[in-house]
A and B are shown apart, each in its own frame.
Chain A
């Protein structure tokens, strides 16, 4: 957008100016593609390693060009490595956590942004502050708390702590968004006889859809990628979500790089799909969260 304004009807666009622009373009694409290649090489290496056979890697080394193509690594990771169960666990945790946190957060944000709730600002910041705490301070008490509740080593504990820890941030972001919805819309609804519940479900939630979409994409990734909470409240290998099970895979298949690489690909695939599918929401979400 900048170049169009920076390019007025220059007096006599000389040849040297045009040449300089061309060199600028070449320099740009040269440096940008070099950077992109640098960034994509590790991903390419993993994708290639995942499809090589163990013997190939053992014979030619990890850094060599592939001599084989097989999906055996994926098969090992998926069944023997327990990644299938782990992926199911991940989804069993991630989907309810995302839905529940955004439901709770949108309710609180609605109340705090549309009504004169006493101490609303203090409440908002209190909730946000909980999310900013370093999780380390919570690890020991949370693991003991879940033991006491009898949910230690169950996915419920993981859902509970992830909802509790994440909700403050989502409230803060949604509050900022809902605050900008014009008051007239709500007033019109009140005149038509709508109560808070109707205003919330029929007016504010639909209008907050862009923010909710952004947070859905973002929170899905965060929760799916979590390691620390999983290894804090879970113990059994069969219950671990995919991120934690990668560590198990790393221990189980020491130096079988095709299996480990395949496991990493499986673990990364869902978030990459979400990113590619909802790229715009995703990037919007990152910027929504930034306090200006």
Chain B
């Protein structure tokens, strides 16, 4: 309250500023309520405007998304309520089964490998020494590429006359050369590699910050006690990284379930849905087959899978926000 009165007296002359002016006008009208909360109205507006923007583009559409998942809709005629019909259909939809399985595989392989390799890279590059800046930058550089550009880069690598097969032939592994993206058995794995190439640098940066935060005195004490390198890692590094691990886990799961661009750009989920993720299946169902109700239900499945992570992330944020 003092804040606002002060503004009024001091800036009476230059009240041309719209924000301040409106704040003062509102302030007079809402004087009593403001006294109760102690928050100047202009400050409330500061919160409400962004909240409304998010409400309009995110919360309201999200609610609609849940509702649409209970309908059959082609996008033209009005949506037709069918209850849980879409979810019942999923039980017998073999493409859905593939997509769900691939999404779980993606989560385990893309998520697990990027965490392990990101931690490995961070451990290797944690000491400040000559050249380490260059190595870190090299690993990090792909993080700034779009997943689409990443996909195109690797599509060139995977061509029959590209570097991957050429290197394999050069190493005497010519028998293993492959139309990597066109073979149902390898398409999904061939798509994971570019995604990993781009993600590992990101995870490394998170772990580097975590490693920096560990008190060196802990290692000193362990060395005095005669702990081996592995024991130090197992009993100091890993426990000390537990909060970063939680962050990495959330980031990875949320990123995995969102993964779309790299698959879409490389295979569109094919061949024969062999690299189909829930996200790509949802997109093609909705915007190519124009089955908007079923597409919404697929989106709800993705939401349900992500829900646990979102909730735990929010709980941590809640503790931190205090």
Contacts and interface: CB of A to CB of B under 8 A. Distances in A.
A45 B258 contact: no
A260 B152 contact: yes
A190 B6 contact: yes
Contact of B7 (A25, A33, A198): A198
Given A195-B20, A197-B20, A45 B156 contact: yes
Nearest to A241: B146
Contacts of A42: 142, 153-154, 157, 197
Looking at A46, A111, A171, which has the most chain B CB atoms within 10 Å of its CB? Answer: A111
Given A136-B279, A260-B152, A247 B126 contact: no
A128 B126 contact: no
B131 A29 contact: yes
A72 interface: no
Given A107-B46, A127-B50, A137-B302, A121 B318 contact: yes
B255 to A, nearest CB: 11
Contacts, number: 364
A154 interface: no
Contact of B146 (A41, A196, A200, A243): A243
B10 interface: yes
A195 B219 contact: no
B65 A137 contact: yes
Contact of B298 (A29, A136, A160): A136
B149 interface: yes
Contacts of A247: 148, 264-265
Contacts of B219: 2, 6
Which of the four size classes fits the interface of chain A? 35 or more
Contacts of B135: 32-33, 35-36
A250 interface: yes
Contacts of B148: 225, 227, 243-244, 246-247, 267
A125 B163 contact: no
A190 B164 CA distance: 65
A212 B149 CA distance: 27
Interface of A: 1-3, 5-6, 25, 28-29, 31-33, 35-36, 39-43, 45-46, 49, 61-64, 104-105, 107-108, 110-112, 115-118, 121, 123-145, 160-161, 163-165, 167-168, 171-172, 175-176, 190, 193-200, 221, 224-228, 231-232, 243-244, 246-247, 250, 257, 260-261, 263-264, 267-268, 271-272, 274-275, 279, 282-283, 286-287, 290-292
8 contacts: A39-B138, A107-B47, A110-B46, A163-B57, A250-B265, A283-B140, A283-B205, A292-B244
